[in-house]
Chains A and B, each alone.
Chain A
Amino acid sequence: MRRALYDWDEGAYLTQEEGRVIDELEAMLRPPALPMAPYPAKSILLASGEVMVVREATVDEVDTLLKIVQPLTWLDRDYYDIVSARVFAELLAWKKYRVRNEYCLVGVIEGVLAGIVNGRMFDQGHGVSYHTLTLKRGLRVGAHLFAAKMEHHIEYLGQDEVWIVAESPIGHRRWMIEYPLDKKFEVQHELGGAPSWVLSRETYFKAKPRLVSGTRPVPAELLARSRPILKPDLSAMLVQIEDTLEARL
C-alpha cells in the first residue's frame, strides 16, 4: 500500500488523486533517461608519487561534493567562481532528477577530492562536456580528468562526438590546440549558448596514446579507500586578491 504524500506547504496529506497529479508533473519534469554504461575506475600515478583514483561519483555523494565546492563560488580568480557555481547547480540538478543523462567523475587521492569533471549525453551519439574543476593544482590533475571525461563519452558511453566550451579562454585554447578540437559553431553549447568546439571520435583515438593515461582495473583495497570522498584543504587556494586601502599601492 503506497504511503500517502504529504504537502509541506499546506501542512496536510494529499488525496490519492492529488498525489497522482504530483507524480505526473514530477514525471514530466524528469527527463527521460537513456541507458548509460558505467565508467570503469582507473588509477593514475601522479608526478608526486601519489595515486589518484578516477571513478564515477554516485548520486548519494552529491551532498559531499556540494559542500566542498560551495566556498569556491566566492573565489574571483581563474574562473573558480563561475565554474564552481555551475558545477554546484549541475550536481544538484542531477541529484534532483532535473538533468538528463548526467554523469560525474571524481579524482580522489586516498579519498581526498582532487578534481571533478562532469557532462551529459545530449542523445545517443552526442555528448555535452560540462566542467573541469581542479582542486589539487600543480600535478596536471585537470588534464588527466578532462581526458578521462573524453574517454568516458567516446569509449564507454559509445558516442561519436563531444561538444565542448570552456569559461576560461586560456584553458580552452590549451585543449583546442592539444587534441585538437574542431569548430562546430552551428551548435550552441547549453552553457550559455556559446558556439561549440567538438572532439570527434576520430580525433580522440588519434590523441589517445598521447593524452589518455591510467591503469585498470583498480585493486579492490585502493578502490575501497576512494570512498567516502573527503574534503581537501583549500586554504591555500581561497586567498583572495586583496583590495583593501593598504593594498592599493
Chain B
Amino acid sequence: MARTVEAAKCKACGKLSYPTHFYCAACHGRKFEPVAIEGEGTLLTWTRAYALPLDYVDLFITLGIVEMDMGVRATGRLDIAEPQSGTRVRASLGTVREIGGKEVTGLVFTAV
C-alpha cells in the first residue's frame, strides 16, 4: 500500500481538482502539487454492481461517489453493508482491483 490517491492543487491559484487535468480549470496553470484524498466526506450516491469484468470473483462490488470535506469529489469502493446517500464516510486505502496480476490500490470508504 505505497501510494496515496491524490488530488491536484494548482500552484498558481490553489484550486483543487480530481482527477488531474492538463491545465487548471480556473487559471490555465500547468503546475500542480499533490494533495492526499483523505479524511471524511458525505456519500452522494452509490450502487451495488453485479455484472463485473473478469478480474473480479465477487458477486457484487459496492461503489459510491463521495463529496470529500477536503474539497474534491471522488469515486471509490464502499466497504459498507447498507449504504445510504447523505451519510458520512471516511476514506482509506485498499486493494480495489487486480489488473494483469498486479494489485491496484485505491480509495475505499467506510462508515463513520
Residues of B within 8 A of A176 (CB): 57
A195 within 8 A of B: no
| A1 is an interface residue with CB less than 8 A from chain B | no
**Which residues of chain B (35-61) have a CB below 8 Å from chain A?**
57-59
**What per-residue 1/0 map shows which CB atoms of A164-183 lie under 8 Å from chain B?**
00000000000011101000
Count contacts between A and B, CB distance < 8 Å.
6
B52's nearest neighbour on chain A, judged by CB, is: A177
Contact residues of A between 141 and 176, Cβ < 8 Å to B: 176
Give, as a whole number of angstroms, the nearest-CB distance from B97 to chain A: 16
What residues of chain A lie closer than 8 Å to B59, measured between beta carbons? 177-178, 180
Roughly how many angstroms separate A29 CA and B60 CA in the complex, as a whole number? 48
Q: Which chain A residue has the least Cβ–Cβ distance from B57?
A: A177
The answer for the CA separation of A177 and B58 in the assembled complex, in Å, is 6
Contacts of A178 in B (CB 8 A): 59
A177–B55 Cα gap in the complex (Å)? 12
Give, as a whole number of angstroms, the nearest-CB distance from B67 to chain A: 32
Minimal beta-carbon separation of B50 from chain A (angstroms)? 9
- Chain A residues with Cβ under 8 A from B57's Cβ? 176-177
Give the CA-CA distance A26 to B57 in the complex, in Å.
48
A-contacting residues, B55-103, CB 8 Å: 57-59
Question: Closest A-chain residue to B58, C-beta based?
Answer: A177
User: In the assembled complex, how far is the CB of residue A206 from the closest CB belonging to chain B, in whole angstroms?
Assistant: 12
Give the docked Cα–Cα distance between A176 and B59 (Å).
9
> Which residue on B lies nearest to A170, using beta carbons?
B54
- A36 to B67 alpha-carbon distance, docked (Å): 59
Bound-state Cα–Cα, A178 to B57, Å? 9
Which B-chain residue is minimally distant from A207 (CB atoms)?
A: B59
**Could you tell me which residues of chain A, from 13 to 45, have a CB within 8 Å of some CB in chain B?**
none
CB distance from A8 to the nearest CB of B (A): 55
Kindly provide the distance from the CB of B61 to the nearest chain A CB, expressed in whole angstroms: 12
A61 to B47, CA, bound (A): 46
CB closest residue in chain A, given B56: A177
CA distance A178 to B52 in the complex (A): 12
CA–CA, A61 and B48, complex, Å: 43
Residue-wise, chain A 123-150 has the 8 Å CB interface mask toward B (1 for contact) of 0000000000000000000000000000
Tell me the complex Cα distance, A224–B36, Å. Answer: 68
Report B-chain residues with C-beta under 8 Å of the C-beta of A177.
57-59
Which chain B residues border A180 with CB–CB below 8 Å?
59
- B91 CB to nearest A CB, Å: 28
CB proximity of A131 to chain B, nearest CB, Å = 24
Residue on B with the closest CB to A176?
B57
- Interface set, chain A 171-215, CB cutoff 8 A to B: 176-178, 180
Tell me the smallest distance from the CB of A10 to a CB of chain B, in Å. Answer: 60
A137 to B102, CA, bound (A): 38
**A177-B56 Cα distance, complex, nearest whole Å:** 9
Minimum CB–CB distance from A212 to chain B (whole Å) comes to 16
A211→B52 CA distance, assembly (Å):
19
- Closest CB in chain B relative to A173 CB, distance in Å: 8
Using a CB–CB cutoff of 8 Å, the interface residues on chain A facing chain B are 176-178, 180
3 closest A-B pairs by beta carbon, nearest first, are A177-B59, A177-B57, A178-B59
Q: Could you give 6 example pairs across A and B, Cβ below 8 Å? A: A176-B57, A177-B57, A177-B58, A177-B59, A178-B59, A180-B59
